[in-house]
Amino acid sequence: MKITTVIVDDEPLARKFLREMLVNDPEVEIVAECGSGYEALRVVKKLKPDLLFLDIQMPELDGFAVLQALEWDHVPLVIFVTAYDQYAMRAFEVHALDYLLKPFDDHKFDRAMNRAKAQIRGRETRSAAEGMVGLLKELNDRSSYIERIPIKSSDRIILLKTEKIDWIESDDNYVKIHCGKSSHQIRETISNLERQLNPAKFLRIHRSTIVNIELIESFQPMYHGEYRVILNNGAQLTLSRRYRDKVRQALGML
């Protein structure tokens, strides 16, 4: 069987270069090309490829965030593509994973590809799996995204897990965080809170609204290019025209 492969890079020329390097390899089948991290996340979850060429520096959702959002037991073998990320270089060296430093030549590409083939064909499967799990654990340990938000009440401070958040709305310099039937108000701007939340899990759909992606049930067209966003708990929010392209990229729809 051929090695199913996905190419991920936000630069069209970079994708074209990788495609040309792979297209004549009889052992490889390119099953998809992705121009963003959000698209890559959807494609990898759906197709479960054997091999992933993954760019690190991408807007909105970078290569590391893509990996962190995947289930560990469904992560393909990854050849990272990077221009200058020094942390990535150190991580790859520690965990014995492959990477290509842009610009790379045929020799470096062939070396990485041959090693990937050996790992996929089973001769180094255990080593590859251990290396990937090690990198994912290190990424999770160093994640800059918050997992808990302190909520002050009259007599205590509640540490609210971000995974329990349904959606967030802004009110000047405050935000109201909705969790099921309860809500909490904290002094924070929605833009600053957006930067702290994992973009693979939370999506800005309006200047005053952030939503938990996993809870979106459907979209209904409205006037002037806006959409009504319906959550699985019945909440109805508005997707503005300003954020429509971002949502389209993240969810592959609209």
Q: What is the pLDDT of residue 72?
A: 65
Q: What is the pLDDT of residues 192-224, one digit of tens each?
A: 899 889 888 899 999 999 999 999 999 999 988
Q: Name the H helices within the chain.
A: 12-22, 37-47, 63-69, 86-95, 106-120, 125-141, 190-196, 241-251
Q: What is the pLDDT of residue 96?
A: 46
Tell me the HSE value of 61 on the side-chain side, using a 13 A CA sphere: 29
Tokens of 76: 């393909």
Q: What is the pLDDT of residue 123?
A: 55
Average pLDDT for residues 166-195, to the nearest whole number? 92
Phi and psi at residue 13, to the nearest 5°: -65, -35
Tokens of 65: 């965030």
Q: What is the pLDDT of residue 137?
A: 64
* The model's pTM: 0.69
Least reliable range by pLDDT among 37-51, 71-85, 126-140, 142-156: 126-140
Average pLDDT for residues 72-76, to the nearest whole number? 71
CA distance 63 to 57: 7
Domains, the chain: 3-141 (3.40.50.2300), 148-251 (2.40.50.1020)
Output b/e per residue, 138-148; b: 16+ Cβ within 10 A: eeeeeeebeee
Q: What is the pLDDT of residue 121?
A: 81
CA-wise closest residue to 161 among 151, 171, 170: 151
